Amino acid sequence: MYRCAIYDEPLLNELECCIPQEKKKPVAELPTTLQRTTPLHIPNLEEIQVVRHFLRLSQMNYGIDTGMYPLGSCTMKYNPKICEDISRWESFAAVHPNQDESTVQGSLQIMYELEQMLCEITGMNTFTLQPAAGAQGEFTGLLLTRAYHHFNGQNHRTDVILPDTAHGTNPASATMAGYTVTEIPSTQEGTVDLSVLEKTLSEKTACFMLTNPNTLGIFESDICEIQKLVHNAGSLLYYDGANMNAIMGKARPGDMGFDIVHINLHKTFSTPHGGGGPGAGPVGVTKKLERFLPVPRVIHSKNNYALDYNYMDSIGKIKGFYGNFSVLLKAYIYILMMGQDGLTEASEIAVLNANYMKKKLVDSKKYDLPYKEHRTHEFVLSCERLHQEKGIRALDVAKRLLDYGLHPPTIYFPMIVKEALMIEPTESESKTSLDNYIDALLKIADEDVQTVLNAPTNTKVRRLDEALAVKNPTFTWKMKQNTFTTEEKQTCCESAGRHH
């Protein structure tokens, strides 16, 4: 029962009597060993105080529902609420992973059909839905690579090659899978250098990992040449599909000659993500790699869906149970709602939005575009000139954007661009919000240096020591019960925010 100042004790008791008996009963008795022996120390607050506290906290948060979120390489697109609503239906959310297959035919059907849809979108033969993130998809793909070479008696293939534009998870996943990583420099245009690739490929190469379009937002148009070189060396070609939002309905990695593909469902196919989750990184393969896919696999025969563990050459299980089902479900709904034309249009608008912003910002001559190639769904500007002339770095621009109520883009990635601002507006944004963001960036470039260096000034917390916050996080804080003044509570909440 919540406390409310206007009711007296007898009235509260009377109200308590109105609660039906069955509602008062605990659902199940806890064993005494698990029951509390001391009272719970929680602040004694009125409901309205609690509501205001949590509402205020929710307003301190920033998400795609709050405003534009052009975090390059992250595809922070709008996530339709219907996907969230359906994923919360009891018929999905209350399913237990150990339930008998006969009682979860609908969920298995969704997984089966999602695999088919991803095959069609990417041009691959078969998918596993198990990996729970892009990085875990990469790791799975590299274990598949190893299983494939082992099966073919090629255990001497111990090296993975990747370009210097690769996302950091690529070398990390390859290293975790036990490979030696070689990074090759890109051309001046920001694409794979064919002659360097050719020289680096050897009988030791297990796989070449490539993101296309790459993290500069440039489509690797030499992909046919690249796949020939890689396959002629006996190596596999791996596709990091995190940038799939640029090419849906336009080009398919399967048709480009990739052998293994991972897709970030939580980027391209709608799921709010961030802070490490939730996600799904399904992996698709060509026929020659199918036998190594993780188990179980969802199979379909005569109106019946089942989980099949019977694959002798499988790399085994990658994730508990069958993957991150609610993310798979949201992607399934999103793809059904969008349809083929809708997905193609999403990519077209994502590319249009990025190129509109790029042109306006580059034409302003306040920011530079080091790699001049035509851009797809994202582009990378450099603040190096601002840095040299005024001492303003990419980090300062990002912090100042917060004062304009905008989420900054990705900064300092890819590492081959000095003082990088990596902007990916996605298809979700209107021209008005793109213009608003462009205006803010242009104003910042002309602002008084100290204003930019001191930013942010109108956020709940000022500039953090981010390295310290990561190395020394404070996850909990304690309130003295009932003895705080309003000022003390305020300070306490703000410092909690600061540490998080």
Residues that bind ligand PLP (CB under 6 A): 73-74, 133-135, 167, 169, 211, 215, 240, 242-243, 264, 279, 281
Q: Which is nearer to ligand PLP, 211 or 445 (CB)?
A: 211
Give which of 157, 71, 80 is closest to 354, Cα–Cα. 71
Q: How many CB atoms lie within 10 A of CB 337?
A: 13
Q: Which is nearer to ligand PLP, 186 or 455 (CB)?
A: 186
CB of 346 to ligand PLP, least distance (A): 18
CB of 410 to ligand PLP, least distance (A): 9
Compute the residue count for the chain: 500
**Residues near 339 by beta carbon (within 8 Å), at least 6 away in sequence:** none
The pair of three-digit structure tokens given for residue 401, joined into one six-digit string: 């954007």
Q: Which is nearer to ligand PLP, 135 or 406 (CB)?
A: 135
- For the sheet containing 236-241, what is the strand order? 126-128, 283-285, 260-263, 236-241, 205-211, 159-163, 180-184
How far does the chain reach from its first CA to its final CA, in angstroms? 31
CB of 266 to ligand PLP, least distance (A): 6
Q: Which is nearer to ligand PLP, 211 or 455 (CB)?
A: 211
Q: Between 169-176 and 134-151, two packed helices, what is the crossing angle to 10 degrees? A: 40
Determine which helix (DSSP H) or strand (DSSP E) holds 484, and give its type and residue range.
none
Angle among Cα 338, 339, 343 to the nearest 5 degrees reads 65
Q: Which is nearer to ligand PLP, 126 or 165 (CB)?
A: 165
Q: Which is nearer to ligand PLP, 305 or 334 (CB)?
A: 334
CB of 446 to ligand PLP, least distance (A): 31
The pair of three-digit structure tokens given for residue 330, joined into one six-digit string: 């949201």
Contact by Cβ (8 Å): 93, 330: no
CB of 435 to ligand PLP, least distance (A): 26
Q: Which is nearer to ligand PLP, 210 or 230 (CB)?
A: 210
CB of 137 to ligand PLP, least distance (A): 8
CB of 148 to ligand PLP, least distance (A): 21
CB of 316 to ligand PLP, least distance (A): 20
CB of 92 to ligand PLP, least distance (A): 22
Determine the residue type at 189.
Answer: E
Percentages helix, strand, coil for the chain (3-state, rounded to 5) are: 45, 10, 45
**Residues near 353 by beta carbon (within 8 Å), at least 6 away in sequence:** 425, 426, 427, 429, 434
Contact by Cβ (8 Å): 189, 180: no
CB of 252 to ligand PLP, least distance (A): 18
**Residues near 216 by beta carbon (within 8 Å), at least 6 away in sequence:** 165, 190, 371, 373, 375, 379, 380, 414, 417
Q: Which is nearer to ligand PLP, 114 or 210 (CB)?
A: 210
Alpha helices in 152-222 (DSSP H): 169-176, 194-200
Residue 206 sits at φ, ψ, to 5 deg, of -90, -35
Specify which residues 277 forms β-bridges with: 274
Task: Map residue 297 onto helix, strand or coil.
Answer: strand
The pair of three-digit structure tokens given for residue 16, joined into one six-digit string: 């308590």
| Residue of closest CB approach to ligand PLP | 134
